[in-house]
Each structure stands twice: as structure tokens, then as C-alpha cells.
A = this chain, B = another copy of it.
Amino acid sequence: MTEMMKQIALASRPDGAPTPANFRLEELPVPTPAAGEVLVRVHYMSLDPYMRGRMDDSKSYAASLQVGGKMEGGSVGEIIASNAEGFEVGEFVMGGFGWATHAAVPAVGLAKVDPNAAPITYSLGVLGMPGFTGWFGLMEYGKPKSGETLVVAAATGPVGSMVGQIAKSLGLRVIGIAGGPEKCKMAVEHFGFDECIDHYAYATASELNEALQAACPKGIDIYFENVGGKVLEAVLPLMNQYGRIPICGMIAWYNAGGLGADASQKGLTGPKLWRTILVNFLSVNGFIISNHWDRLGEFHKTVGPMIANGSVAVQEDITEGLENAPDAFIKLLTGGNTGKAMVKVI
């Protein structure tokens, strides 16, 4: 009898926020690895906001997904069959296996994961793409200096929590923004932020701006941009001269559909944004971490020991079962998760 596997495909492109109808669970035979390939049994699959962009038919980092194609994403799993030299059955690897229980993929480019060094889930979060994004963006474009003030949203997420904790370790004042009192408490108590502002408590950008102003008496030197929207609008007027804004994402706008803006963002016009960059001599840099893997070793060398000695804390939000991935992803896009979102597939 043919052994079967499961995967989730893009059933249709979302119009605004994704719904369960945009996804389709499929069964198909487990593939056989070709020459140079390994067959991976996925253990944990990562859910990340960038995946929302792939669902649209618009220009982003990478080509859009085709309707009917398997949802893409990074996962960690165990090799259960190998047709590639140097990759043995029983080894763990991390790679782009998509939303699936199994994948036959070229071994070239797979990163081996040592399950004895750290929990394998870390390779998707704190020591993986999101943690690396936070560390790299902060160090490369944020150029943090002791005594400065940093603001980051999604403060308990895997990117924001890394940014905040590294900045704290370098002597900055760190203000988080998060959705709800529970997350704010976690940002301060678990991740060591100086303060965390609950954006749900402020209906408008100008109210949020006032709260930020109180938390940042010396203004803002670094705004690590991962959400856009109301937060960006509230932060902009508080940026100090020579401030830095690394941009790794803008989750608040992902559901607006490609280049569009939702109605509440009309205030943030291009000229206003552009003029703020000019008159405050800001440095604004977009980046994607996948172009900077050459710095991964440095990241692990720096942050690995910080996790071990407790100065970088970890928070994971694990959903059980591949079939629940669409709901968990929809929840992630509205901030319903707490910590690094992933799905336990096995």
C-alpha cells in the first residue's frame, strides 16, 4: 500500500484577510527522494507573517505562489530516507519544506540541526530566521548605542523580542508595543523591556503617540519597523535627528492587498513620511534576511550563549496538527499568538 502524506495548498488568493477557504488540505503519496535528495518527515513548521505576501499576486521579495500550489515555509524535520551523500537517516535538517508532513528535497542547501544542542524548535525561532532577522537588522541598520531609545512593535514576537533583548544588553532604553495587557506584561517581565505599550488601549495614532511620548522622554533613536500602520504613524513624529529605521516587515498592511493602504492609514501620506526622513536626517533601510546568511555564524556565536545564560529568553506558541495551520496562521496575522508561532506536524 502506498504511504500517504498531507499538505496544504493555496486554494484561492485572499481578498484582504485570509480565511480558511483560501487553504486546501490535500493527501498525496509520499515521494521517493531522487538522486541527491533526502526525504524529510517534518516535525515542526514555522508560521511567519511574510507568508501573507506570497499569497498575493503582487511583487514582493519572491515570486508569488501559484493558486493550487503548496504553501511555502520553513520547517525542521528528520531524514527518513536519503539518496544524498553526507545526509543520514535520523539526522535533523531545516529547510523550505512547505506546509506539509513530508518533503523530498535536494540535500544541497539544507542546514543540519543538532537536537542535542538546543530544542529543534529553536532553529525556526530564536536561533532561526526570525531571531536572526531581529539581530541582524538591529546591528547592521539600527546601529545601537548605549543610552539611546529603541521602539519595536510585536514585542513578544520572535523578531521583536530578539531586537528588544539585544538592545537591552547593549544599554539602550527599550520600549515595546504589543496587543493586550498579557503580552505587555510578558515583554517587561519575561523579555526585560523597560516598558511596553498596549496598542489596543489607544484607538488612534495620535493617542498612541502621546503614550509613546511619555515612555520616550528623550525621543526615539531607533524604530525597528515590523508592523507599519498606526504604530509607524505614532512613532514618526518622535524620531530624533539621525534616527535609524530598519524595515523588515509591515504586518499591519499585509492584509491591505499588495501596495494598497487601508482607510485608516490615509494620514500617513508619502510626502509626510518623506519629509520626516529629510528633516530629521533619518536613515531608512529595507532588508530581507535571506540575503545575509553569511552573518549567520556570527549571530549564533553571539546569541547562542545569551540563550544559554538566560539573557535572551524564549517564547514559543505551538499549534498541534498540520490541519490546524490555516487557523493558526490567520490568528498570527491578527496578533492572536504569543511568541514564535509554529505547528507541530508529527
Residues of A within 8 A of B (CB): 59-61, 225, 228, 232-233, 247-250, 253, 256, 259-261, 265-266, 268-275, 277-288, 291
Contact = CB atoms under 8 A, between A and B. Distances in A.
Contacts of A278: 247-250, 286
A268 B271 contact: yes
Given A247-B277, A253-B274, A283-B286, 8 more contacts: A232-B270, A253-B275, A259-B271, A259-B272, A261-B270, A266-B269, A268-B271, A284-B285
5 contacts: A228-B271, A268-B271, A273-B274, A277-B285, A284-B284
Nearest to A53: B279
Nearest to A259: B272
A166 to B, nearest CB: 21
The listed residue with most B CB atoms (<10 A of its CB), out of A225, A247, A248, A268, is A247
Contacts of A247: 274, 277-278
A261 B271 contact: yes
A270 B277 contact: no
A228 B291 CA distance: 30
A211 to B, nearest CB: 21
B274 A250 contact: yes
A266 to B, nearest CB: 8
